[in-house]
Amino acid sequence: MVKLLENQVAIVTGGGSGIGKATALLFAEHGARVAIADLDEKLAAEVVEDIKGIGSDAISICGNLRNPEMPKQVVEATISAFGRLDIIVNNAGYCLDGSLHKMSDEQFQEILDIHLLAPFRVVRAASPYMRDVAKKEIEQGIVHHRKIINVSSGSGVRGNMGQANYSSAKAGVIGFSKVVAKEWGQFNINSNAVAFGFIDTRLTRPKEEGTEINGEVVGIPEKVRNMLINSIPQKRVGSAEEAAASILFLASPLSNYVNGQVLGVNGGSLT
């Protein structure tokens, strides 16, 4: 197998489960060393061990990315462990759904904090190790592409009932990705967003299963879930591995001239 990320270093936020975990493992298979940022220490540690089993290296940095200091800690721990930073995948997040007229300020702000403010802080903290390093490389005639992939959603493209907070945050992620592309493209740093449709994760499994995140039961009522699946042209939910494959594309040399774009990964659903 051709390893697309040989000798590169990646940060994957929310890397302990779901799309983040699948991405971290796929990156490792392609030769990357990976820093896993996650709230759940147990899940993050398990992914680190899985990556080491693949034959690559990984670390975990655990804490709440809504903490203003946490994004900087993630970046600095990565540099301390691996000495460089080539790829950032801003994937961490969750939902706190509710009708617009019943949604509190706190409920709205919390989702903005994790989905939009945290990625901004991670990228800003990475500037000395991506933008500044790239400037020196360019002066020396070195061309090395670095990649930033921000996870958005179809909800951020078209809006979604009951998700004023989530849709707003994910729309913001798209705007943020485009700004980074315009400001940092000259330094061979590509910034793109992935707008996922219905992907099989803890957030999209039947709510009746009773899965909890941060004390909240997450998921989609089975009746609604089935209706959503029937609306997808491919008539199925996407897997976390399929989602990770699209992130790998944007992280790899295959996408060196793809910048400031939104890649819809949704089985043909309109976005």
123 plus 171 within the same structural domain = yes
| 262 CB neighbour count, 10 Å cutoff | 17
Tell me, rounded to whole angstroms, the distance of Cα 58 from its chain centroid: 17
Q: What is the pTM of this model?
A: 0.94
270 domain residue, yes or no: no
Domain range for 216: 201-237
194 domain residue, yes or no: yes
118 plus 17 within the same structural domain = yes
User: 3-state secondary structure string, 199-254?
Assistant: ECCCCCCEHHHCCEECCEECCECHHHHHHHHHHCCCCCCECHHHHHHHHHHHHCHH
1 domain residue, yes or no: no
128 plus 222 within the same structural domain = no
Q: So what's the pLDDT on residue 213?
A: 67
Distance CA 254, CA 251 (A): 8
146 domain residue, yes or no: yes
107 plus 37 within the same structural domain = yes
Three-state SS for 137?
helix
Which CA distances in Å does 213 have to 43, 133, 134, 173, 202?
13, 38, 38, 22, 9
233 plus 146 within the same structural domain = no
Catalytic residue among 94, 129, 166, 257: 166
156 plus 177 within the same structural domain = yes
4 domain residue, yes or no: no
Domains contained in the chain, number: 2
Q: So what's the pLDDT on residue 195?
A: 96
192 plus 210 within the same structural domain = no
Digit-by-digit pLDDT tens for the chain (271 residues) are 899 999 999 999 999 999 999 999 999 999 999 999 999 999 999 999 999 999 999 999 999 999 999 999 999 999 999 999 999 999 999 988 899 999 999 999 999 999 999 999 999 999 999 999 999 999 999 999 999 999 999 998 999 888 999 999 999 999 999 999 999 999 999 999 999 998 988 878 887 676 666 677 777 888 888 888 888 899 998 999 999 999 999 999 999 999 999 999 999 986 4
257 is an active site residue = no
174 plus 157 within the same structural domain = yes
252 plus 171 within the same structural domain = yes
103 domain residue, yes or no: yes
28 domain residue, yes or no: yes
91 plus 219 within the same structural domain = no
Question: Are the C-beta atoms of residues 125 and 90 closer than 8 Å to each other?
Answer: no
222 domain residue, yes or no: yes
116 plus 143 within the same structural domain = yes
Strand partners, 98: 163
229 plus 156 within the same structural domain = no
CATH of the domain at 127: 3.40.50.720
| 230 CB neighbour count, 10 Å cutoff | 8
